[in-house]
Amino acid sequence: MTPHILWNEFPVGDHRAMCPMCGTKPKKRDMGITILSPESGVAHCFRCGFVATNRHERELTEAERKAFKRRMDALRKAHDAEQRERQAQAAAEAAQLWLKSQPCLEHPYLSKKGVKAHGVRVHGGLLLVPLRDANGVLHSLQTIDRNGDKRFLSGGKVKGCYFSIGRPSGRIVIAEGFATAATVHEDSGHAVAVAYNSGNLLPVAKALRSKYPCIDLYIAADDDWQTPGNPGMTAATEAARAVGGLLMKPDFNGLQRGPKDSDFNDLKRLIQEKEASQ
């Protein structure tokens, strides 16, 4: 179902609002809205690309078309400048936290997942997993608490940023979460990159493809088998196709799979449980 804009709530003029398609919080004003008259409006999300128009039953005049374009461009510029400012603040915060943090020797989340630290650090009981771009610049951090609750620094850049483990030797495996990537690295020895979520698999795959034009890229999918549309498999398939990569899907055949068992870390745990019970 396509969400709709409540056009009547906006007077003639230019506005910024939460996108009804991708927005999660009212203060995330990713959408520009230009109202030329009560019968003529355009909305454009600068984040997801969602576009809507209000009652354009007649052809727009050339002047109207130009006005829409000019005013929407100005809204986009303001949006992008705000975003860069927030990202710069988050990057500064990330650098400070990283300096204050300690090397991680043990942490309840790592114990629960059965993986090593691989260079992540700890501060105030939180694991800190860095988000770096392909040039190694630190942009943000993901924090993971003892219960596995994950958060990014507010406003920090995520798109195209990743955390790498191991040195690439002919192959890099991209996975969504830290624990999944760590598991793949520990079991296979391959270099891995943490993309943090399904929506970032494609941007990270593209960033790595640019950095390493000849390397084999593998996408280790989360098989979200109980979620409608299986976002993990869908995004991993798309990312693998886009960069000429290969898809790795966890095979739960013959295991007592729970509804939340979706990734290679879950797979390893189930295999170990099965072996222990035999």
Binding of residue 132 to Zn ion (CB under 5 A): no
Binding of residue 46 to Zn ion (CB under 5 A): no
Q: Which is nearer to Zn ion, 22 or 215 (CB)?
A: 22
- CA 120 – CA 101 distance, rounded (Å): 10
Q: Which is nearer to Zn ion, 17 or 179 (CB)?
A: 17
What is the closest distance, in whole angstroms, from the C-beta atom of residue 111 to Zn ion in the complex? Answer: 39
Instruction: Decide if 264 contacts 184 (C-beta within 8 A).
Output: yes
Binding of residue 16 to Zn ion (CB under 5 A): no
Pairing mode, strands 13-17 and 31-37:
antiparallel
In this chain, which of 45, 204, 221, 235 binds Zn ion, going by CB under 5 A? 45
In this chain, which of 15, 16, 28, 47 binds Zn ion, going by CB under 5 A? 47
Q: Which is nearer to Zn ion, 47 or 150 (CB)?
A: 47
Binding of residue 22 to Zn ion (CB under 5 A): yes
What is the closest distance, in whole angstroms, from the C-beta atom of residue 46 to Zn ion in the complex? Answer: 8
DSSP states along 115-158: ---TT-EEETTEEEEEEE-TT--EEEEEEE-TT--EEEPTT---
Give residues in contact with Zn ion (CB under 5 A).
Answer: 19, 21-22, 45, 47-48, 50
